[in-house]
Amino acid sequence: MLIIISPSKTQDFAPLPRSLSYTQPHFLDESSKLVTELRKKKPAALRELMDISDNLAELNHSRYQEWQVPFTIENAKQALFAFKGDVYTGIPAEEYSDEELQYAQEHLRILSGLYGLLRPLDLMQPYRLEMKIKLKNKRGADLYKFWGSRLTEGLNDALQQQKEAVLVNLASNEYYKAVQPKNIKGRIITPQFKEFKNGKYSTVALFAKRARGLMTDYILRNRLEAPEDIKGFNQEGYSYSEPQSTGDEWVFVR
């Protein structure tokens, strides 16, 4: 199985307490093209483009001016450790053994507006570029046009290395839109997470984000290979709901 998750705007580039192996992002040449476009924009233009504060605009303007290749352990950090935020609170990567990290490297991909697809140990430099941002480029009006079929092709390459060609979609809708489901060469399972409140089940965004991280961790640490084993997910009170699930959209409730 192969898992996809979204990145996080919150990032931490403090040095890691232990030495880890690292790899280079597959689409780094493509990332460089985007950075070239972003470097042309002044802080005010970035503020408008990204709908962010003046301070964040200044910060990200500096980031893109300073962004440089090659990526090294001195100027970049492994993606799974750099991203923080709701999803990543459910993935305690600092606790993973080297063997668990290697398994994650083979079975997890992080979708990214700037980097396309990241493996857990791929180095990245700090950035802010949500997939939904309408950054005009030579391929079209936004990042979905920029990435085109590239992410789908990258996922298909990774799916060929799996025991079962199953894509577990734990990404947000914003990032999943960058994938072309009809062209995925495998089965796609999309877990949903719902809370019981006021007599009914509904999705609460904050809880759902954390649950996506918890399920990612559950699959990786248990080294699940058979899709049906996902239904055993029971972290933090969740359980699989057969009545609420339809097809390959599996609902977990609490």
With a CB cutoff of 8 Å and minimum separation 6, the contacts of 211 are 90, 193, 235, 236, 238, 252
- Are 213 and 191 spatial neighbours (Cβ–Cβ below 8 Å)? no
What are the distances in angstroms from CA 52 to CA 10, 143, 247?
14, 18, 39
Report pLDDT for 48: 97
pTM score: 0.97
- Torsion angles phi and psi, residue 115, rounded to 5: -100, -5
| Residue 56: CB atoms within 10 Å | 16
Report pLDDT for 123: 98
Q: Which residue numbers in the chain have pLDDT < 50?
A: none
CA 3 from chain centre, in angstroms, equals 9
DSSP SS3 for 196: strand
Report pLDDT for 129: 98
With a CB cutoff of 8 Å and minimum separation 6, the contacts of 145 are 137, 139
Residue ranges making up the domain that contains 112: 2-10+18-253
Report pLDDT for 162: 96
The total number of residues shown for the chain amounts to: 254
Cα–Cα–Cα angle for 75, 99, 216, nearest 5°? 80
Two tokens at 159?
Answer: 């799916």
Q: What share of the chain is helix, strand, coil (3-state, %, to 5)?
A: 40, 20, 40
Cα–Cα–Cα angle for 233, 238, 243, nearest 5°? 90
Report pLDDT for 90: 97
DSSP SS3 for 33: helix
- Rounded to whole angstroms, the Cα distance separating 116 from 125 reads 14
- The CB-side HSE value for 139 (13 A sphere, CA atoms) comes to 15
Helices (H) and strands (E) in the chain, counts: 9, 10
- Torsion angles phi and psi, residue 25, rounded to 5: -60, 140
Q: pLDDT tens for residues 159-213?
A: 999 999 999 999 999 999 999 999 999 999 999 999 998 899 999 999 999 999 9
Total domains in the chain come to 1
Report pLDDT for 242: 97
Two tokens at 249?
Answer: 């959209």
Handedness of CA 33, 35, 38, 42 (dihedral sign): negative
- Are 194 and 202 spatial neighbours (Cβ–Cβ below 8 Å)? yes
- Are 154 and 111 spatial neighbours (Cβ–Cβ below 8 Å)? no
Two tokens at 185?
Answer: 């060469």
Ramachandran assignment for 116, one of left (phi > 0), alpha (psi -120 to 50 degrees), beta (any other): left
